[in-house]
Amino acid sequence: MLGQNNFVEPVALQEMDTSNGVLLPFYDADSSIVYLCGKGDSSIRYFEITDEPPFVHYLNTFGSKEPQRGMGFMPKRGLDVSKCEIARFYKLHERKCEPIIMTVPRKSDLFQDDLYPDTPGPEPALEADEWLSGQDAEPVLISLRDGYVPPKHRELRVTKRNILDARPPSGPRRSQSASDAPLSQNTLETLLEQIKALREQVQAQEQRITALENMLCELVDGTD
C-alpha cells in the first residue's frame, strides 16, 4: 500500500496469500475501510486505514464456498440504513449474481450518525466541460438520515417539432370549404399513425420490463 504523497516506498506491507489472481479493491471513505476481493478467491478481507502507524489494521475475513468471477460494490446511498448496513457486494458466479450484505449490530432503532456521515451523492460537482477546462471541486454530499431520496429529474427538453405546430393560425370562425378537407384528413391520418407507433413502443417496453422482472426473480430465487 502506497502513501498519499509518496508513490516510491510503501507505508505498510500486508501479506495476503499465494494466489496469483487479480485483486479487486473497494475503499469506503466514510468508514476508512478497504475491502480486498481476489478474482478466483472465495473470501473478502477488510482492513481499517488510519493516519498513524501501522496504518493498516486487519479487521476480519468473509468466506464462502464458491470462488468469485467478479465483484461489484453498492454506493452508500443504496444501502438500508434502518438495518445498519455498511456494505453490499454483488458476487458474480458462473450463472448468477449473489448479494453479500455486511451490517453492524446495533440495539438502538435510531439513526446511527457514526455509521452514516454525509456521503457523495449522484449529482456531479462539475459539468464535463468545466472539468475539461481544469476546474476542480469537492463532491456534493447528501445525508442518509431519512434514507436516500433520489433528486428530482432534470427537465427534459424536447426539440422535436410537433406536427400540431403546422396548423393554421387561429382566426375568425368560417365555414369549412372543400379546399380545407384534404389538409384536415392528412393531419388526422398522421396523428393516428403516430398514436399507433407509440402504442407499439409502449407494448414493446412492457414486454421488456416483464422479461427483466422475470430474470430478477430467477436471480433472487437462486440466491435463497
Q: Is residue 49 part of a domain?
A: yes
Q: Is residue 142 part of a domain?
A: no
CA dist 136 → 4, 119, 127 (Å): 18, 18, 10
Residue 196 is predicted with a pLDDT of 87
Grouping H, G, I as helix, E, B as strand and the rest as coil, residue 35 is strand
Residue 1 is predicted with a pLDDT of 45
Residue 203 is predicted with a pLDDT of 85
CA dist 171 → 25, 109, 168, 174 (Å): 69, 67, 9, 9
| Beta carbons of 30 and 19 less than 8 angstroms apart | no
Residue 10 is predicted with a pLDDT of 80
Residue 177 is predicted with a pLDDT of 47
Question: What stretch of H or E contains 216?
Answer: helix 181-223
Residue 107 is predicted with a pLDDT of 85
Which residues are CB-contacts of 151 (< 8 A; sequence separation ≥ 6)? 121, 122, 123
Q: Which domain holds residue 205?
A: 187-223
Low-confidence ranges of the chain (pLDDT < 50): 1-3, 177-181, 183
In terms of pTM, does the model score above 0.75? no
Q: Is residue 10 part of a domain?
A: no
Domain boundary pick from 73, 93, 117: 117
How many domains is the chain partitioned into structurally? 2
| Beta carbons of 213 and 221 less than 8 angstroms apart | no
Same domain, 111 and 191: no
Q: Is residue 204 part of a domain?
A: yes
Among 80, 84, 62, CA closest to 71:
62
Domain boundary pick from 85, 102, 117: 117
Residue 160 is predicted with a pLDDT of 56
Q: Is residue 124 part of a domain?
A: no
Q: Is residue 166 part of a domain?
A: no
